[in-house]
Amino acid sequence: MALDRVEDRVEVRREDFLYRRLAPSHVKPDGVVSSTAFMYSGVPMSEVSVDLARLTTPFECLARERRPGWRLGELRAAVPLDLDLTVRHDPKHDPDSDNPAHCLIVGLGPDDMTQCYMMARQTRVLDLPPT
């Protein structure tokens, strides 16, 4: 598979899918993803960790979560990009992790609740057994 590399990073394309690990509280009983999946303590995260789907598998991504009950969401990269956010491949962001698929969604400010809601609305929970 040819990767579009810029230095040691892969270009994230609009058509790419991103995986987001979801805490049990991030998925409502009806299966809808809560906007809190993109927040910390009720405030939008300045950096949202996701995995680039073409560099991993759903099972590998979910296996990186060691806490029980977590699920996996899938979001097209075009969604945050259309919200004027940046999605960048950043595999070395966490020096304790060996995750070549790691990416960050950046650009959310503390008042960007609407962007969190829009990303959550476009995130589909994958039908995998929870961790």
* CA dist., res. 48 & res. 13, Å (int): 17
Note the pLDDT tens digit of each residue in 28-70.
999 999 999 999 999 999 999 999 999 999 999 999 888 999 9
118 three-state secondary structure: helix
Domain of 26, in residue numbers: 5-125
Whether residue 84 lies inside any domain: the answer is yes
Burial classification of residue 124, based on how many CB atoms lie within 10 Å of its CB (0-12 exposed, 13-18 middle, 19 or more buried) = middle
Give pTM, 2 decimals.
0.89
Nearest C-alpha neighbor of 61 from the set 109, 100, 25: 100
Whether residue 107 lies inside any domain: the answer is yes
The more confidently predicted of residues 63 and 75 is: 75
Residue type, 41: S
Whether residue 89 lies inside any domain: the answer is yes
Structure tokens at 20: 């987001």
Question: How many domains are there within the chain?
Answer: 1
